[in-house]
Structures are given as C-alpha cells and as structure tokens.
Homo-oligomer: A and B are copies of this chain.
C-alpha cells in the first residue's frame, strides 16, 4: 500500500510529469532535461532520483553523463499502465507539446554548445 502511494506521489508533481513526458520520447542526460525544461541542475537531478526510486526510470553512466530513461524492462504491470496513462493524458497537453518540440530542436544543438554559451539555464555558466 505504501509502495502504491509512493508510486502515485512520484507522479503528483508537474515538473516530474514534464520530465516523464520527455523521457517517453527518448533517453536523456540531466543536462538535456535542464535545457529543455528550463530547470536548475539540482532540481532536475532530484526529480530524476525521485522517479528512479519510484521505479519508473533507470540510469546508466556514459562517460560524464548520467543517462536516464524509462525502465520498461523492470517496471511491473501498473507502472507500465501508469506510464501509458501519463503519455495519453499529455498527448494533447499544450505544455507537453511545447516541451517535446523543444526537445526536438535541442537534439540538434547538443551539449557542448550548452556549456560553451554560458546559458543561464544550463550546465554551469
């Protein structure tokens, strides 16, 4: 019961839903999520850890980057159902659409630019 409540709690924050929305598109590192969602680094990292602890995400290190993605293999049935509900519910949501669009453009910009430009949103200025 406590675990179920915790699972729902992980989904009860708008920022975490926005993160899930992005990760439902593709695997991302913390830095990319910061850029796309315009969040600070600690905030992004913490929400990702929350989603990990709740069993939605998995983590792998690739060099300097911590890559997060939906943990489809290890999720049990109701986690998968919940991820499906989130995807469905955010399909036509304006914020979610904009985030996904920004993700698409950010793909082309890449990470090095982010740290080189000294953007106030990303990767330490």
Residues of B within 8 A of A113 (CB): none
Tally chain A residues at the interface, Cβ within 8 Å.
25
B18 engages A14 (CB within 8 Å): no
Check if A81 is an interface residue, CB within 8 A of chain B.
yes
Is A5 in contact with B1, judged by CB distance below 8 angstroms? no
Interface of A is mostly: helix
* One of A37-45, A66-74, A84-92, A102-110 contacting the partner: A84-92
Chain B residues near A93 (CB, 8 Å)? Answer: 1, 4
Chain B min CB distance to A118 (Å): 30
A1-53 interface with B by 8 A CB criterion: 1-2, 4-6, 8-9, 11-14, 17-18
Chain B residues closer than 8 Å to A116, beta-carbon distance:
none
In the bound assembly, the distance between CA atoms of A4 and B50 in angstroms comes to: 18
Asked if A114 CB lies within 8 Å of chain B CBs, one says: no
Which residues on A are within 8 Å of B, measured CB to CB? 1-2, 4-6, 8-9, 11-14, 17-18, 77-78, 81-82, 85-86, 88-90, 93, 95-96
